[in-house]
Copies of this chain bind each other. A is one copy, B any other.
C-alpha cells in the first residue's frame, strides 16, 4: 500500500481514539511500522499530518452520511435516517467510522482552542460541509421545495440534535434512543414546516 496513506490511516485511528496531544509521533511510527524519516518525507510536521487526518475523516464521514440518507425523499425520512445512523455509529455498528469515540472534529477543536489555527479551521469547515449536505438533501424534498428559510432552519435543528447526541454519548458512554421515537420526530419536523 502507499506509505503516505498508510501513515494517515494509522495516525487517524490513533488520534481519534486517544486525542492529538496524548499521541506522540513515535507511537504512530511504531504502530505503522514506518521509519521517522519516511514520515517526515511526506509531512513537514505533526501539524500537517493532523490536517491530513482531518481531511480524510471529513471525506469518509460525509460519504458515509450521504449514503445513509441517500434514499430519503421527505424531511421525516431524512431526520429518521440521520438519527438512526448516528445511533448505530454510537453502538459501533458503523465500521467505516471506527470505534465510536465522539466527533473527531469536536474532540480535536477542543485541543486547539485558538480559532485561527489551521486545525481549528478545518474542524469548522467540516461542520459547515455537513450542514450543507443536510441542507442540499432537504431542499430536494417535495415538502421544502423553494422554501429556503424553513429548509435552513430544519437543517440547523437537525445539526444541533446530531451534535447533542454525539457529545452526550461521548461523555456518558451510552446512546440515547429518544430521537428514534417516530412520534417525537414528526412533531419536531412539523415545527419547521
Contact = CB atoms under 8 A, between A and B. Distances in A.
B160 A127 contact: no
Interface string A64-106: 0000000000000000000000000000000000000111011
A172 interface: yes
Interface string A157-193: 1011111110110111100101100011011101110
Contact of A123 (B112, B161, B164, B171): B171
A4 interface: no
Interface stretch (A18-26, A40-48, A140-148): A18-26
Contacts of A33: none
B171 A19 contact: no
A32 interface: no
B171 A105 contact: yes
Contact of A22 (B111, B167, B176): B111
Contacts of A192: 184
Nearest to A115: B173
A157 B171 contact: no
A160 B178 contact: yes
Copies of this subunit: 2
B170 A106 contact: yes
A163 B162 CA distance: 10
Interface of A: 17-19, 21-22, 101-103, 105-113, 115, 123-124, 127-128, 153, 156-157, 159-165, 167-168, 170-173, 176, 178-179, 183-184, 186-188, 190-192
29 contacts: A17-B113, A18-B113, A19-B112, A21-B22, A22-B111, A22-B113, A101-B113, A102-B110, A106-B167, A106-B170, A106-B171, A108-B110, A109-B170, A110-B110, A111-B111, A127-B168, A127-B171, A127-B172, A156-B178, A157-B184, A159-B168, A160-B164, A160-B176, A162-B164, A163-B164, A163-B167, A163-B168, A164-B164, A188-B191
